[in-house]
Structure 1
Amino acid sequence: MPYITLSDQIKKLHNPQRSDAFVKKLRDAIREGDIDAADTPGRFELPKKFAKRGGETYTRKAKDLIIDGTPEFEAWFAKINKELTPARANGKIKVTPEAIEAGLVDFKVLAAETRRKMGASFEKGQKLGSSRAAGSKGPGRPKKTAQK
């Protein structure tokens, strides 16, 4: 059974700015009995940078833990890491082949959305074209009259 320290596991996060949220979720999972871990006497610095007024930044320290690296823990970590990854400036993951292969973006959902957009655009063009064709057969624009 491999044992992992929390400080080493945090280095594997895709988004280090969410390390505080990861520690909180891990502590909740330990408290609920989903994951086995033990306290160690050491502390380590979280990679997240916190901002103060005036533009200065600081970091926080957290208690280190030894975690039982079971397959259940690895599955839990993969799920939590995926949950914490999208948190970016606009909250969206950029669509790239790497993001799709990593499972961060669902390709089937993207394909369905693209299909829907293309269909809506096509229908809009057909409607616009038919309305213009019908409008040209009718009477022309009203003639302007000179104001007296």
Structure 2
Amino acid sequence: MPYVTLSDQVKKMHNPQRSDSFVKELRSAVREGDVLAADLPTRFELPKQYAKRGSDATYSRSVKDMVIDATPKFEAWFEKVNKELSPARSGGRVKVSVEAIEAGLVDFKALAAETRKKMGASFSKGQALGKSRSGKAKTPAKKTKK
């Protein structure tokens, strides 16, 4: 059986700034029994750079290395998690574009459903507004005598 280390898997990530999230996901998968892994006594530095508040200095964290059983199930899990952590989180969302949709970073079906929902809400709002205006004819204001 082939074995790989956590430090090697972190090097294979598309977005190294998300390495801390990957380690959390892996530990969770090991705890739930989805992935077989064991702790090693050595530690390694994560490639993620943390910024210190109020200064330009950065630092990195070190975590315990693990040995992982590299089964096809683990490889599929790694690809899924790596894809989820791949988008750059500059604004918290991936900018919608044809390239992003083709690359699989944006779910097209969910985007289409959201657009349909928005258009339906806008249409029904316009219909309700039109009905409320047409149903009530304005009566002229009454003149008061002084």
TM-score by length of structure 1 reads 0.67
In structure 1, the partner of 2:11 is 11
Report 1:66-145 matches (<5 A). Answer: 66-86=67-87, 88-113=89-114
Alpha carbons of 1:79 and 1:121: their partners in 2 closer, same or farther (altered >3 Å)? same
In structure 1, the partner of 2:41 is 41
CA offsets per residue over residues 53-101 of structure 1, 9 Å max, x none? 3321100111111211112112222232233334613211123444334
Gaps of 5+ in 1: 124-148
Distance of 1:86 and 1:102 partners within structure 2: 10
Gaps of 5+ in 2: 125-146
One-letter code of the match for 1:45? E
Bigger Cα displacement from structure 2, 100-109 vs 55-64: 100-109
RMSD between superposed Cα atoms in Å? 3.6
Alpha carbons of 1:68 and 1:89: their partners in 2 closer, same or farther (altered >3 Å)? same
Bigger Cα displacement from structure 2, 87-96 vs 106-115: 106-115
CA offsets per residue over residues 21-79 of structure 1, 9 Å max, x none? 21112112112221111223322110111121332110011111121111211222223
SS of the equivalent of 2:54 reads: helix
Corresponding residue pairs, total: 145
TM-score by length of structure 2 reads 0.68
